[in-house]
Structure 1
């Protein structure tokens, strides 16, 4: 009896082997208690915030990169990225200081934010620069394919697996938005947005810029998701501050070494309206980033990408209303495909959450 008791005591008191749960990037702080599952109100909040921010941002972005100011075209896409990041880091710093009692504590090593800061900077540069070589509708169609690269990047970067239905939904969304965009095709569909150069070099440069945008943007959202998993105590404001700090360092270096900083400052001095346009882009970019980080942390990169993909349709509708274009049947067909797919996805995930929810304890 005593021997048995001794062996039981030894088993009970012997230390259990420590579980090595090293994070994807490096060991982060212990995860807090699981919050309640996000609901439809949060999803609607993210949807409206992202749409409002980036519809305005996209409109003014196209204006800056394609408009003739009094002394010519805006000279630097890099400066547009830089100005966006300056306001974003200011907002993030203020909110972080307020939320954390006047302390700017980032609960993760600063280096882990550098990869997504670089990819985010490159994607923004590619998006701006592409408008020098391709038309806005072609850029819109390229953006509509982003759901699939994001899923592939999730598989490569985060070892995620997706059921076949997710890939089918991604293809349908890409198809629907592409049809919607193709309804607005004109004779200058493949023409440059600002250069007017229809040469093979311009076409290749445009495709290269679009590829840079899509690959970099797909990497950014998946890396941020990975970082949130590795360091669950990092909130969206701390993420925003750290990512934009790195981005400012990178864009400042690029502007100074290329000489674009002084050229652009001179251009803004000669064209005050260009300064106001950059401020508008910076404000909407800052609010958009807040919604981006919150959406990725709450719902993940795939839901975020779907919201941003459907934005392409709303941007075309906005352009159609502003410039008085006709609503074409092909646009209706594309919209039906996209919204039917999204509705089916929401319904399917709601059923999945309901099935996974723990059963209520029996009443006594």
Structure 2
């Protein structure tokens, strides 16, 4: 069944929203909940799961298995992508994730909001510089408007933390590194799409394979393998939470890679950036929470930009349009003449 392009995009976006909404609930329970009844040195009861590398590693393993099963059930054409491209993409993806996690501890709240919301910008810039992608001016304007709208909507007054200058600078450096790695990930994915056009399942399997290896090596170096395993053996209910988290993550990543493979990293970054916006907006509509004028302005900007992008964002950039109008080369003319002779 041929599903229209826009309908497919909406299905993928909805899949990302739903899966990561459930993912967030389970993650909150896993990382902020307490396990056991043992009294800690600070007087709190129960232990917390603090093994970030192990958490991501388990998800990468499950994502790899999930994609492998999908490809076994429905075989596809051979993926001709160079192994190094997937390895590089996995490395930049992991560095972005780690840098973001570390940066959020050491940057003021306004900087964190801007950093979380500005992901599409480096994806777009490095997609042009490295991924050899071209966009129309309309798309540039729409993406910037979406980012601005999300920042206006998500920002909350009264959350500016008084952090030491050295700590803030370190956090900003990490945030810049994170955004740069996000941009590089998108650029490499654009190159992969242009070179070999792998399916979403193939990208998902290969990237998670390399991510599993890299994280496994990091866990061995840090000793987190032994510590996390002992924690899980002490508190068996962790396995249930990890399983649910991995299921939601695998389904969510499946939709993410379908979006990347079919619509590109920029479209995917816009979806993931607006995901939290739509989550908060749904809570407002469902539970009657009040929005202030700035948040309404942000909501209007996001919806207006998304609407304009749907109508006009697919148009070619001037450079791409000119290149498509270039006369065929001698080789092209020869091939055309051969076709005429054959016919």
2:93 counterpart (116, 120, 145): 120
1:285 counterpart (249, 253, 261): 249
The RMSD of aligned alpha carbons is 3.2
1:170–1:106: structure 2 CA closer, same or farther, 3 Å change rule?
A: closer
The alpha carbon displacement at 1:341 in A equals 0.8
Aligned to 1:158, what secondary structure does the other structure show? coil
1:217–1:275: structure 2 CA closer, same or farther, 3 Å change rule?
A: farther
> Where does the alignment leave 5 or more consecutive residues of structure 1 unmatched?
1-35, 192-197, 357-364
Residue aligning to 1:108: 81
Cα deviations by residue, 1:203-243 (Å, 9 ceiling, x for unpaired)? 345434433332222222331221122113x2221211111
1:203–1:295: structure 2 CA closer, same or farther, 3 Å change rule?
A: same
Q: How many residues end up aligned between the 2 structures?
A: 307
The alpha carbon displacement at 1:284 in A equals 2.0
2:149–2:298: 8 Å Cα contact kept in structure 1?
yes
Cα deviations by residue, 1:225-276 (Å, 9 ceiling, x for unpaired)? 21122113x2221211111111010000000111122122223333445443
**2:43 corresponds to 1:79:** no
**2:186 corresponds to 1:221:** yes
2:131 counterpart (158, 167, 172): 158
The alpha carbon displacement at 1:336 in A equals 0.6
Residue aligning to 1:5: none
1:65–1:131: 8 Å Cα contact kept in structure 2?
no
Residue aligning to 2:66: 91
**2:228 corresponds to 1:264:** yes
Q: Distance in 2 between matches of 1:132 and 1:62?
A: 17
Larger Rg, first or second structure (1 or 2): 1
Cα deviations by residue, 1:28-73 (Å, 9 ceiling, x for unpaired)? xxxxxxxx99522111111111111223334444554455555444
The alpha carbon displacement at 1:309 in A equals 1.5
Q: Distance in 2 between matches of 1:286 and 1:321?
A: 29
1:320–1:326: 8 Å Cα contact kept in structure 2?
yes
2:138–2:309: 8 Å Cα contact kept in structure 1?
no
2:85–2:192: 8 Å Cα contact kept in structure 1?
yes
1:144–1:312: 8 Å Cα contact kept in structure 2?
no
Cα deviations by residue, 1:122-142 (Å, 9 ceiling, x for unpaired)? 223234444544588864442
> Where does the alignment leave 5 or more consecutive residues of structure 2 unmatched?
36-44, 322-343
2:96–2:182: 8 Å Cα contact kept in structure 1?
yes
2:122–2:182: 8 Å Cα contact kept in structure 1?
no
The alpha carbon displacement at 1:277 in A equals 3.4
1:185–1:272: structure 2 CA closer, same or farther, 3 Å change rule?
A: farther
Alignment TM-score, normalising by the size of structure 1 = 0.73
2:152–2:294: 8 Å Cα contact kept in structure 1?
yes
2:34–2:47: 8 Å Cα contact kept in structure 1?
yes
**2:53 corresponds to 1:53:** no
The alpha carbon displacement at 1:199 in A equals 4.2
1:44 counterpart (1, 10, 22): 10
Residue aligning to 2:265: 301
